[in-house]
A and B are shown apart, each in its own frame.
Chain A
């Protein structure tokens, strides 16, 4: 299947700093990318959906100024957690789709963020 590469796989940062997570589709053009957050023993929570060249659509309750999403090309989307706090510690996962209706989504390996 198609490959989505997410980097870094884990990161530890100090409270108040910003962290950028990259999500790349390696062998297909990702017209749509999704960003999720997952807390221990819970399901994935959709944070935002981004289409290439457009502003991301954020889910209710997700602060767009805190979680900055950029999807400037068909192979790269980034999520920046700004002014991170310990409660932002979580497992962040991206996924990418090409086309629309009948294509499957491919997921990155996830990024374990720990804010200390």
Chain B
């Protein structure tokens, strides 16, 4: 399985942008890059996903490196409700093996 590495934790100030990095140097050509976040005692929540091009939605933006070996989740204006564990996941060719790594715990300071 292709693996991802993320920093264990990051901190941001409220209303400032946050850039959450993810390295996936062994990504294969057909792996999609997914991001999810999890609040305490809840199931994960979908944030965004992409293949090669940068993606934007109402929650965040996903910037994918040209060689696809890394990506960055961008929260444009962090709020206190964005404090969560963020997971970067690669989904394999058949949609199987949806494996979570340790993720990044984001703290947002008021």
Which residues of A approach B to under 8 Å, CB–CB?
A: 1, 4, 6, 31-32, 34, 36, 43-46, 49, 57, 91, 93-95, 97, 99-110, 112
Contacts and interface: CB of A to CB of B under 8 A. Distances in A.
Contacts of A108: 43
Interface string B58-93: 000000000000000000000000000101000101
Contacts of A95: 43-44, 98
B81 to A, nearest CB: 16
B110 to A, nearest CB: 24
Contacts of B96: 32, 49, 57
Given A95-B44, A110-B41, A101 B99 contact: no
A70 B104 CA distance: 32
Contact of A109 (B42, B94, B100, B102): B42
Given A101-B91, A102-B51, 12 more contacts: A36-B100, A43-B101, A43-B102, A44-B44, A45-B100, A91-B41, A94-B43, A102-B32, A104-B34, A107-B44, A109-B42, A110-B43
A106 B51 contact: no
B43 A46 contact: no
A106 B46 contact: yes
